[in-house]
A and B are shown apart, each in its own frame.
Chain A
């Protein structure tokens, strides 16, 4: 059964308002035959009502009433499609500056980011912002789609100009895999099918790239991290003394017999078994959800971290992070926040704003330290209890945090530990 053996690829899309992002996703779904008849009829009816000349593929991703009326995307929309090679999850995120927080959200779980550029305009402020966010969130692969090639007569020269412009800017980014594709989402050139008018382009289509980008090595298989979510105690006759530690492996490979240390207690033990409903396992690696038992009866609970004695996470209370502020109201002076980190929760204050980043130029703003919605800044947090963490660059799970407002309970910021 080959369809049970597919890999899952999560990607996000970014572009400014009129770059044709929704059209591109619509095109990917349409040309890969992932759209159902009744969906086509539905968008055909809406397109007709609006008096459009062609099927508005963008309507496939605009879900909320306001979005359809205004022709813009407000919230992250998730889309799904599969080819015989891979299954895809798309986080389609809005391009407006006021929705940067949604772009960060979409980027947080992505393996690949598609950056859309209008071939007529080249690299603009938003391109820089989106690329910077993708690099900040350590999306390992960027695919730059130079769109609307039909409007520049499919000119190779214009395409090369945009590519050069982007490369110059991207030298400042921390991304190692950047690919470029000239496309027309509206007409389908180089999206799923090759382009006749752009036969000068010798690379693969967008879909071909998405199907073949190697993502297997993006997980951290070296540093063993197991944040405990909850303790399983069956209280049944059969499993009378069973104490299992449930969680999702955040890094490394765990095996029965491995010597482990539990933080914060510092107590050590050996893994006795790794259990699932389908039977015990010989090993567990990211992102598997399992239940571990230990040889010794030691105190372990939610928020604790199981790790290896000779390879432990950092244990610290002064946490330096790159912080994206997501809430309309900026931080209150000396306010305390809940910090959510893996399965742990502590309280913290923002001790110092070191600098703010101009996300269009990547310049450091050392004078302006007033944090507002959509701002990205480097800050120092002081937590009430230690976190067991790694730099985000080493492990996205143990290196990421969110801040929760104590009064409104809203998620106000997201941070990447440095």
Chain B
């Protein structure tokens, strides 16, 4: 007799596909927020599954800080070509040039905070009423309270205390003009689930996730990649290390770990044995105790 039960990755996949199809059915103009990181790559892969044999019915939207890893941009462009999808780029440099935001200065300067303005401007310009993101609830304590379908007011803000109750899998995407939603199809996935799924489905990911040699500097207890966007402190030294990245953000804020995990199998083993959270190396989350909550309230994803 057949065993009519799903394994955890199959159940998570089915749930995510359901969410994507609801987004497609309930909104006029959704888009996938694509960062080039593993989570948005998995979301894109799931979108492919959700609408097969049709093409992904959403454009991919990238908020380009200008501080990218070159590998990420190449990966993005190759994937777009393969999917035959439309790419929308929101440029932080344009926001700076237009005087919408001001560049941070100093050694810890990053464009992370500026992204929110560019993101919201781009959503408005493209009239996107639902932005699908790869955020997961296990990543961070404010994200642990997110809904699958998260309502944003006309300023793009998240109000965690007045979220719509989300029961069973009955999603309420009704909204007034000017408001939009964020949708998080992989809310219930953990970092481990994502890696296991990438391995199981053999999904292509940027080479940055695999151990490789790179010029780095030691800063805030992590290896920050050396690039033209980094202001070196006098005591800092550029060294070459074999590292890999557990998450990908801007090149200025993403720290790598020393690692020899150069295959997906080794990465899964490394993640299983990890003793720190994956965002532990992200200086954007370290600015204060509630850094993520504050950014989310302002419209960050």
Taking Cβ atoms with an 8 Å cutoff, the residues of A that contact B are 3-8, 36-39, 46, 61-66, 68, 74-80, 82, 87, 89, 101-102, 104-105, 108-109, 216, 219, 221, 229-230, 232-236, 238-239, 242, 244, 246-248, 253, 275-278, 283, 285, 287-289, 291, 302, 326, 338, 340-341, 343, 396-397, 400-402, 404, 409-411, 414
User: CB-CB < 8 A to A409: which residues of B?
Assistant: 172, 174-176
Residue contact A397 to B169, C-beta cutoff 8 Å: yes
Known pairs A80-B138, A104-B167; A338 contacts B53 (CB<8 A): no
Residue contact A230 to B145, C-beta cutoff 8 Å: no
Known pairs A216-B5, A232-B53; A77 contacts B14 (CB<8 A): no
Residue contact A404 to B174, C-beta cutoff 8 Å: yes
Of A63, A242, A341, the most chain B CB neighbours within 10 A belong to: A63
Q: 0/1 per residue, B120-142, Cβ < 8 Å to A? A: 00000000000000000110011
Residue contact A238 to B167, C-beta cutoff 8 Å: no
Q: Is the interface of B mostly helix, strand, loop or mixed?
A: loop
Residue B2 interfacial (CB < 8 Å): yes
Residue contact B188 to A89, C-beta cutoff 8 Å: yes
User: CB-CB < 8 A to B165: which residues of A?
Assistant: 101-102, 104-105, 326, 411, 414
Of A247, A277, A400, the most chain B CB neighbours within 10 A belong to: A277
Residue B4 interfacial (CB < 8 Å): yes
What are 10 A-B residue pairs whose CB atoms fall within 8 Å in the complex? A5-B7, A6-B7, A7-B8, A64-B141, A101-B165, A229-B25, A276-B49, A287-B11, A302-B25, A404-B174
Q: Is the interface of A mostly helix, strand, loop or mixed?
A: mixed
CB-based nearest B residue for A288: B14
* C-alpha spacing A266/B125, complex, angstroms: 44
CB-based nearest B residue for A396: B168
Residue B276 interfacial (CB < 8 Å): yes
Question: Top 9 closest A-B pairs, CB basis?
Answer: A63-B141, A289-B17, A409-B174, A234-B54, A8-B8, A108-B167, A277-B52, A289-B14, A38-B280
Q: 0/1 per residue, B1-44, Cβ < 8 Å to A? A: 01111111111111101100110110000000000000000000
Residue B187 interfacial (CB < 8 Å): yes
User: CB-CB < 8 A to B14: which residues of A?
Assistant: 248, 287-289
User: CB-CB < 8 A to B188: which residues of A?
Assistant: 78, 80, 89
Known: A63-B141, A105-B167, A411-B164. 18 other contacts (CB 8 A): A6-B7, A7-B8, A36-B277, A64-B141, A80-B137, A87-B193, A216-B4, A219-B4, A230-B24, A233-B54, A242-B53, A247-B21, A253-B4, A275-B52, A276-B52, A287-B6, A402-B170, A410-B164
